[in-house]
Amino acid sequence: MDLIRLSLDEKIYVKMKRNRELRGVLHVYSCTQNQAIVHSMTIDGTYTEAFDSHLNMILGNVEETVTTLEIDEETYEEVYKTTKRTIPMLFIRGDGVILVSPPQKD
């Protein structure tokens, strides 16, 4: 949990079940009673962290990579297929999280 708390507003890497990998910015949101969720501090300085103890979290500017295994029908060889997509904002349910870390440097 400390790594996640230190990574607020930073890019993180999340390994998910079913061969999904996510890279995105862990958000911090402020919220008051009469205000929708916004990405800034309120006047009184209150804020809500966009994650909880179950590892539910909100990521922005997400790059999702899904790897699937397919069998070639002619040769019966294993073929790994990678699909990527970009998602502006994503809520991650914590029960699918395997690993959270800072992103690997390219």
Q: DSSP secondary structure string, 4-59? A: HHHTTTSEEEEEETTTEEEEEEEPEEB--TTS--BSS--TT---EESB-TT--EEE
**Cα separation, 32 vs 69, whole angstroms:** 46
- Any bridge partners for residue 30, and if so which? 38
Range 2-94 classified under CATH 3.30.360.10: no
Q: Where are the domains of the chain?
A: 2-94
Provide the residue-wise pLDDT of the chain in tens; the chain has 106 residues: 556 665 666 788 999 999 999 999 887 655 444 443 434 444 444 444 567 778 888 888 999 999 999 999 999 999 999 999 999 989 999 899 999 888 766 5
Query: What is the value of pTM for the model shown?
Result: 0.71
